[in-house]
Structure 1
C-alpha cells in the first residue's frame, strides 16, 4: 500500500490516505510495467498501458522493449497487420498505437476534442465548407478504399475547388474516425505518405455511444492515482469533473502531500514507495511523462527544461524511478552508440546499470550494426561541492 503521512495543518487535507511523491511514482511505474520487465502478450501490454505515443515510428517499439521481457518487433508488426493494434489520431489529438477495441471505444469520446482542433487549426481555411457534408463526403470517398492524405485531398477538392486540398484532408482526419494501416507503423518505415482508411471498414465495428467513464478508467488503470486535471492533460478533454463525480462511489479518494484530491481504482496497485525501480531508457514522447498535468511524480521540475524544449521531447533515462538524464542514438555505417547524459552524479553501481541497459538498447535499436557502444556523460563533481551540470566528464 502507498506510503502514508499524517494530515498536517495547512495542507488542505480532510482525512484519509495521503500519498507522497515517491508513493505516486511507484504506483505509476507499477502500472506502466516499469518496476520490472513483464512476460505479457504485446496486445495485453498495449491495452494495459493505455496506448503508446506514435508520433514517430520507432518510439512504440522502444517503449515496449523497456517494459516487456523478450519483446520482438515482429510481435507488434503482426498485430498491426492483423488489425488487432491500430495507429490513429486519438489522445491529445496526436497519433497513438492502441488496441482495436480501445480505438473503437475511445474515439467517440474524444470526438469533441478533435472537432475543437479542426476549428482551431483549419477553421479559417475551411470557411464556407459544411463540415457535416465534408464528413459524409469523406466516408463516401474512403468507403472500401485506402488513400494517402494528398489523394484524399485531391478527391475532396473536387467538391470544394476554392479550398486547399491539404486543409480538407486534415479536417477530414479530425472529423471522421480513421486508422493508418501498414506499412504505417512498421518498424524501419521512414517518411512516405500516410495511408488512411475508415476505422469501421478496417475494424468491422460501428462506433458505440460515447462512454467517457471508460476513458477515465483506462487512465487510472495505466497512470493513477490522478487528479481530474491529470486525466484532462492526458486526454485533451475538458469538463471531466462531472464524469469523475458520477464515478466517485466506485473510486477511492486519496490526497497528495499538498492536500490535492486524487482518485483511483480501488484495487489498483500502489506498491511500497521503497520498492526498487530499475534503470530504464524511455523513448521520446513516452506517455509516462505526458499523462499528468503535474509531471513531478516522474520528472523533477529542475530537469524539465533539459527534457522538454517547446514541442521537442527528449528520450529519457529513469534512475530510481525518476528522470535523471537523456539519451540519443548515434549511428554510422557499422556502429551504433547510445549516448547518455546524466543530470546529476550517481554511484558506480548505478553507472554500471545505466551502461548495461544502454548497451542492451543499442543492440535492440540497431540490430544491423556490427558494433554497439555506450558513451556516458556525467556531471564532474569537484571535491566538497554539489553536482555541477555545466561541465561534463565523459567515458
Structure 2
C-alpha cells in the first residue's frame, strides 16, 4: 500500500479494507471453472449464494449472483455440478469478505468433459504412461492389501467379503476417502501416499461402485493419474464402470470391471488352490508309482538273466581256466628247465673234453720251447734244447738228450 503509515501513525481498519477493495477491483472480470459444493437459494431473496470449489485442489471461493439469473440459466443446479462462471471479484470492506459477483453461469456439458478426458488420454499415451511394459505384476498371494474406497460403501463391502471368502487369511489396510466431489482427488492421492509408506502393503486397490460420467471425473484427473503412474506398489483399478472407463483403468497395473472382480484378481481362490494341490499330488503319486513299478520290473528282468542269476558262474569258469593255464605253464617251464639243464650238462661235457686241462688229466703233456712256442713235432727240437713240460698237476723243465724219429718215418726210411 502506498499510504504512509508507521507505529506512531497506523492505518485504520476502514482504510486498509478500502485499499484492499480498490486493489481487487483492478482485477477485472474473469471466467472461472469449478464445482458447486454449496448453494443457497432462498425464496424472496434477490441474491443466491454459491460456494465454488476447485476441481483438483482444496480451494474454494464464495459466489453471489442474481436469483433470477440462476432460475433462467440453470434452474436444476445442484451440488457437484461442474460450471463455468463469469464475474468480477468484490471485496466487502465492511465485513472483510471476498466474493465473486457473477453475471453468467454455464454448465460444463458431458461432451466437453469427455473431450477433455480424450485430450488427457492422448497426452498420457504419448508419454507412455499406459504402456504395457510399465505394468507391474501382482504378487501371487499378497499379505496385506491396501484399499482406497468410500466409507461403508458397497464397493468396500464387496471387496472385503469376496476377498476374505477366497482367501480367509488375507489382511487389509483400508483408507476411506471421498469417491466423488471436489475433495476426491486430494484425498485419494493422500491415501495412496500413506499406503506406499507402509512396508507391509503388497498391492493397492482403488474401488468405487460405478456411477455417472460426472461422478467418475476425479478418476480421470491428471494429478491422480500421474500419482498412480509413479506408485511403486501395484495398483488395481476397480471403479466398476464399463461403458466409459476412467483413465485410472488405463494407468493402473490391473483393471477390474467391478469390485467383486477385483477380489478374484488380487488373491487366489483357496478352495481351487487346495483342489489343484490335491490333484497335483495325486498325479505325482501316480507317476512315481508307475515309475517304481516299471523300474522294479526292469530290475527283475535283469536279475533273471543267467549272468545275474548266478553271478559267480563265469568266475568259476575263469577260475578253472586260470588253474589249467597255471598248470600248463608250470609243466612247460619245468620241461624247459629240464631240457636246458640237459643241454647245459652236454655242453659242459663237450667243453670238458675239448679242454686242454682234460687232455692233461688223461696223461698228456704240453711241451714248449724256450720261446713259449708249442712243440708239435720232433723236427722242432735239437739235442740239448731246454723245453718246458706242462702236465695236469704243474710244469717242469727238461733237456732233450735224444730225439727219436716217429715210427712211420723209420718205416718209410727202411722201405727206401
Instruction: Using structure 1 for the length normalisation, give the TM-score.
Output: 0.18
The structure showing larger relative contact order (alpha-carbon pairs under 8 Å, at least 6 residues apart) is 1
Give the greater-gyration-radius structure (CA): 2
Instruction: Using structure 2 for the length normalisation, give the TM-score.
Output: 0.17
